């Protein structure tokens, strides 16, 4: 095990936080969609991929990064709404198994279309503000990572303001709490479903664009990212956004330390193992098991 100093630990934490911010963005998109529609969007990672791809294409057309950012997000939002209309809406009464398979099919189709349009060669996006990495108390942090964390922070703030203070945001929240009741109050749940997909797609796209300069952008990048975002999301039970934020950041930091202390090949396994452990923890609650055992003992007739 290599000899690490304090600044190295700080480095792990900071780079983990920035990676975790991406997972947070993806998780928030998943939660936004699940809260309103009840559908687990297994194609969330593809929104991330499309966001990155659109941005790469726009920047390739010499559009300045700011406009490329906005254009890409709008493009992915449009795609998200189309998907909701074309694949989820017709199947909204289908059993859960069907819906899950539909989202998987959508994810695969999107991946294939990306392959068709952009081919197999990985693309890259230049950093938002080119320059040498910053030195934070001995930890080396690339400028893009600052952008990632900053963007995630701004997005979180905007989401909070949206859900707390705007009428539309409150309508979406109402619909996620009780669909039928909000329908009675005049909120259109179909529109809310569409909007939730728009929101989810947008959040995914933002995540994709900010991470694009740091990673290889190709048609396959969505799969693993989507999975890790899902892990963060289920730390909040797919409904709790603040918990997902903590979960996503924690996952990022955990991965960072694993990569530093074990090997970077294993770090993907971290997310999967974490997923496993969380799933186990959610289902086998020790308290309930003890209660069950006590009830069983009391229910058994005496003398057995």
Partner 1 sequence: MSIRSVSKSWTRSNLIGLLVFIAFIGTLPLWVRTPYALSNMVLIGIYSLVTIGLCLLMGYAGQISLGQAAFFGLGAYGSGILTVHFGWSPWIALLIAAVITAVIAYFIGIPMFRLRSHYLAMGTLAFGAIVTIVMNEWKVYTGGPTGLPGIPRFTLGAIPIKSDIAYYYLAWGTVIIGLIIALNLVRSRFGRALRAIHDSEPAAQSLGVDVDRYKLITLVISSIYASVAGSLYAHYIIFISPNAFDFSVSVRLVLMVAVGGLASIWGAPFGTAVVILLTMALREIVPLLTRYGSGEHQIIAYGLLLVVIMIFMPDGLTVALVRAWRRLLNSETLRRRLSAYRRRP
Binding site for partner 1 (CB under 8 A): 40, 42, 87, 90-91, 94-102, 104-113, 115-116, 119-120, 223, 227, 230, 234, 238, 265-266, 268-269, 272-273, 275-276, 279-280, 282-284
Please state, in angstroms and rounded to a whole number, the distance separating the CA atoms of residues 191 and 210: 29
Judged by beta carbon, residue 183 or residue 268, the one nearer partner 1 is: 268
Instruction: Choose between 184 and 280: whose C-beta lies nearer to partner 1.
Output: 280
Count of other CB atoms within 10 angstroms of residue 186:
7
Helix (H, G, I), strand (E, B) or coil at 135: strand
Report in angstroms how near the CB of residue 47 gets to partner 1 at its nearest: 15
Query: Which of residues 92 and 294 has its CB atom nearest to partner 1 in the complex?
Result: 92
In the numeric block, the tokens 């593809």 are attached to 46
Min dist CB 281 to partner 1, Å, is: 9
Task: Pick the closer one to partner 1 by CB: 60 or 105.
Answer: 105
d(CA 53, CA 184): 41
> Smallest gap, in angstroms, from Cβ of residue 35 to partner 1?
13
90 or 126, CB closer to partner 1? Answer: 90
Distance CA 204, CA 233 (A): 13
Q: How far apart are CA 103 and CA 191, in angstroms?
A: 19
User: In the bound complex, what is the minimum distance in angstroms from residue 287's beta carbon to partner 1?
Assistant: 15
Shortest Å distance, C-beta 63 to partner 1: 26
Would you call 235 helix, strand, or coil by DSSP? coil
- Among 250, 28, 30, residue whose Cα is nearest residue 157: 28
């Amino acid at each position: 095990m290599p000899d690490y100093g304090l600044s190295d630990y700080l480095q792990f934490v900071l780079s983990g936080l920035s990676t975790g911010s991406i997972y947070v963005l993806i998780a928030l998109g998943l939660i936004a969609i699940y809260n309103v529609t009840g559908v687990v969007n297994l194609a969330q990672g593809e929104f991330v991929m499309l966001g990155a791809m659109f941005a790469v294409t726009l920047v390739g057309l010499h559009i300045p990064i700011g406009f490329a950012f906005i254009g890409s997000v709008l493009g992915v939002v449009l795609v998200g709404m189309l998907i909701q209309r074309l694949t989820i809406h017709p199947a909204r009464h289908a059993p859960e198994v069907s819906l899950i398979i539909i989202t998987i099919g959508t994810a695969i189709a999107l991946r294939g279309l990306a392959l068709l349009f952009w081919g197999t060669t990985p693309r890259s996006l230049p950093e938002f503000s080119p320059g040498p990495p910053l030195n934070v108390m001995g930890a080396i942090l690339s400028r893009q990572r600052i952008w990632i964390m900053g963007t995630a922070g701004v997005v979180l703030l905007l989401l909070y303001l949206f859900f707390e203070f705007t009428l539309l945001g409150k309508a979406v929240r109402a619909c996620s709490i009780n669909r039928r009741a909000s329908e009675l109050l005049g909120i259109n749940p179909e529109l809310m479903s569409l909007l939730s997909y728009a929101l989810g797609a947008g959040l995914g796209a933002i995540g994709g664009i900010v991470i694009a300069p740091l990673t290889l952008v190709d048609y396959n990048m969505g799969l693993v990212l989507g999975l890790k975002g899902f892990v963060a999301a289920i730390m909040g039970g797919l409904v709790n956004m603040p918990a997902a934020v903590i979960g996503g950041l924690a996952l990022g930091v955990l991965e960072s330390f694993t990569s530093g202390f074990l090997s970077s090949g294993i770090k993907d396994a971290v997310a999967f193992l974490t997923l496993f452990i969380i799933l186990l923890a959610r289902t086998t609650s020790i308290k309930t098991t003890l209660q069950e055992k006590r009830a069983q003992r009391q229910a058994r007739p005496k003398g057995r």
